[in-house]
Amino acid sequence: MTQQLSIPIPGNTLHECKVNIKSNKTSIFKSCLSCSRNMTLMMLLLLTIIILIIVPWIYCEMQQDENKMDESDGKNHEESFPLIDDESENVCTTFICKQSARQILNNMDESVEPCDDFYNFACGNFLNTTTIPDDSGSVDIFTAINHELEKQLKNSLEELILPDEPKSFKNAKIFYKSCMNTTMIEQRGLEPFNKILKNLGGWPVIEDENWNENDFTWTESVYKCHEIGFSDSYFLNFGITPDAKNTSKLVIELDQVSFELEEFFITNENDDIDLLKKINNSHNAFRKLYNDYMFDIAVLLGAPKNNKTMNQLKETYKFKRALINISLSKEERHDANKLYNPMTVADLSIKHPSIPWKKYFNTIFAPNVTIDDDEIVIVAVPSYISKFEKLINKTSKRTQANYVMWRVIQDSIDFLTENILDRQSKFIKDLSGISKREPRWKMCIEKTSMFPSVQAMYIKKYFNKNAKRNIGEMVGDIRNQLNKTLHENDWMDDDTKKNAVDKADAMLSCIAYPDELLNDEKLKETHEESLEFYDDKFMENILAINLIMKKETYANFRNPFNRSDWMNHIKVAVVNAFYNRIENSIELPAGILQGFIYNDHRPKYMNYGAIGTIIGHEFTHGFDDQGRQFDKDGHLKNWWTPITDEKYRRKAECMIDQYSNYTVGEIDMKIKGLNTLDENIADNGGFKLAYLAYKDWSERNGEELTLPGLKFNPRQLFWITAANIWCRKIRNEIAEDDIENDIHSPGKFRVIGSFSNSESFANDFYCKDDSKMNPKNKCTLW
């Protein structure tokens, strides 16, 4: 139930460009003072007189010529945006302001008319000059932030282990070291992993005739995977979650399995014949790539290199595809009420008798929790369970076993040998165009960052504590604008409006990090303290941490859920932001509060334009099409009157139609307006709330200084900054997958779509009526 701000994480290149700052010229004049002083003074006086007479005349002549040219093409930028003198008292000349100006100019293409295409105006040069690294699928503004964060974590984890530091800190460093110990991983080879596969029942493609199907059931394979530390969700997605209608209580939830990467290529339903042909060609290409990939990995692990192995793996692929085909699409999962289907264990046993439900749940929860027939289980997709039962009963046990072992292998790739990793890299290259594997230390950072102690290391050493207080003030300002927007809303009736305001007031804001994270005694209470890690056994280390995290989670099943529990908000060294519908909370981790997104020392219009719009985005998620289905306490509850609900739906339909008409030209694919609806609503609301909050701040504190070398006033710079955070260059292969599977619109249309719906933007940039960025018909919700 966590809504995330989608931020891709590849590597970045920040291009430097010089800003014409007149102080540079002053330094040149100073270097001439070694000449004869009197002669210099006379020449300077003469030169000054010439400049005072001639330069204004030249400037006027140039302006007249320029205005004639501008009048002829109708694009007089100077009329709209008065040129700001870099030495004017209205210009900020601090280091951070000059740096900010360089960043904006480096991204901007001023040859583009902002009222025609604001995204290319703000990001055009970024797109034209940025090169995507070989190990990345895309590059954006967040990339540099994430790269810096990763380096900081790397530095902390590579420090020497001190005798007196907390055990949790030592464990994190040992775990990271074991991940980086490729010498030992290669020395041990694949034998330890093959032993694990045997303990799980063996992989039929390797065991061949020695594999006995009488020893296999899919439920037993789930129990074995769970007990070793692998996922228990390869056939049915199993988890525990706060009850959506009573959030103080945890419940079991069953859902369809998720496959992520393969989903677009394996199944797609569309009425467009040309698109279907393209998808079919993509599917055929993907199927061959995937089958070849499985076959090569199987051979490396010891399977015979023959047709029998390939045929078994083709059956595995077909079974995987069948699981996806019985699942609901993202669009079909949009209504949270349809995903809330409570049943008792007894009900499940009657409806689906071939599955031993009571044993299934008790084996997973053992030894701390007992599940009886009266236990409530939330079944997200009842049709999936029904179709799964039929599918599993007609699928051979050999195919079932091949499938589950392949899923285990997929989850294990990162801790296997170099030849396995190389084959995975080739598959990724063929699929996405990413031709180089990222440095191993980045993967090891990602694995190790699951530890609370790593988050604590980051906060203690690198995070600017003032930012937490300052961001808190911004959150307060933006929350005030949300409340004001709701109060002034003219299409909601009073009852619904009151419920909306109550929800906004109740929203919890988790900023930067929980204070408990800096308390070493609190860290001792986490699972890290109870583990022993070894710097030469990465695979065993990762399975051990996986297992204890699952067992701790399941052991707490009977405890009440507390949305304010600090352990729910410990992932702070991450470049992202979140809204949680069940908690009715926004979360702004410390990792995102830096770089171009936030800086204590730069003008407020930049901070409100960057992190402010992200804060507004997360607040608005509480009132998007899914968020609005939950009340102030996070309960799944309809608090909308029928009349207001119908008005909301009409307004949402406008936005669905708007975004569905956008085409990503490079790949000739249209955005899925329904699939991206919630994020589009949050984008539109986020930009508006942040803008109103900055406008209010400016009225209280006075207009700020502008940036050097830029001819824009503070409000215009708010919009430019807001657009800059979505500058992104992306490989076509990744863009295609994003269109199909991502719930966010591409960066270009996050900007174009939201800004063209804003009267404030149109006013600030003097966009003519019915210009591309100021259409007559606008879609607005909040």
Of the candidates 583, 683, 704, 764, the residue annotated as catalytic is: 683
3-class secondary structure per residue, 643-690: HHHHHHHHHHHHHHHHHHCCEECCCCEECCCCCCHHHHHHHHHHHHHH
Q: Give exposure, 3-37, as e/b (b: 16+ Cβ within 10 Å).
A: bbbebbbbbbebeeeebebeeeeeeeeeeeeeeee
DSSP helix/strand/coil, 642 = helix
Phi and psi, residue 728, nearest 5°: -150, 130
Phi and psi, residue 631, nearest 5°: -90, -170
Peptide bond just before 10 cis, omega within 30 deg: no
Neighbours of 318 (CB within 10 A): 13
3-class secondary structure per residue, 511-563: EECCHHHHCHHHHCCCHHHHCCCCCCCHHHHHHHHHHHHHHHHHHCCCCCCCC
Are 781 and 648 spatial neighbours (Cβ–Cβ below 8 Å)? yes
Name the burial class of residue 239, with classes exposed (0-12), middle (13-18) and buried (19+) by CB atoms within 10 angstroms of its CB.
middle
Distance CA 610, CA 599 (A): 10
- Inter-residue long-range contacts of 514-521, CB under 8 Å, 24+ positions, other chains counted: 514/566, 514/569, 514/570, 514/572, 515/566, 516/566, 517/452, 517/455, 517/456, 517/459, 517/566, 517/570, 517/572, 518/456, 518/459, 518/460, 520/166
Are 697 and 475 spatial neighbours (Cβ–Cβ below 8 Å)? no
Element (H, E) at 692: helix 677-701
Element (H, E) at 262: none
Name the burial class of residue 578, with classes exposed (0-12), middle (13-18) and buried (19+) by CB atoms within 10 angstroms of its CB.
buried
Q: At what angle do helices 118-129 and 747-755 cross, to 10 degrees?
A: 160
The stretches of 366-493 forming alpha helices (DSSP H) are: 382-394, 397-412, 418-432, 440-448, 452-462, 465-488
Q: Which residues pair with residue 246 across a beta bridge?
A: 243
Residues with Cβ < 8 Å from 74, sequence gap 6 or more?
A: none
- Whether 683 is catalytic is yes
Distance CA 186, CA 526 (A): 32
Distance CA 612, CA 606 (A): 9
Distance CA 97, CA 57 (A): 32
**DSSP one-letter string for 344-388:** EHHHHHHH-TTS-HHHHHHHHHTTT----TT-EEEES-HHHHHHH
- Whether 494 is catalytic is no
Element (H, E) at 510: strand 508-512
Are 391 and 322 spatial neighbours (Cβ–Cβ below 8 Å)? yes
Of the candidates 618, 631, 704, 736, the residue annotated as catalytic is: 618
Are 478 and 690 spatial neighbours (Cβ–Cβ below 8 Å)? yes
Instruction: Give the chain's count of helices (H) and strands (E).
Output: 33, 12
Name the burial class of residue 354, with classes exposed (0-12), middle (13-18) and buried (19+) by CB atoms within 10 angstroms of its CB.
exposed
**Residue in the block written with tokens 């609503």:** 681
Distance CA 117, CA 748 (A): 9
Distance CA 678, CA 682 (A): 6
The DSSP letter of residue 153 is: H
Q: Give exposure, 384-411, as e/b (b: 16+ Cβ within 10 Å).
A: bbebbeebbeebebbbbbbbbbbbbbeb
The catalytic site residues sit at 618, 683
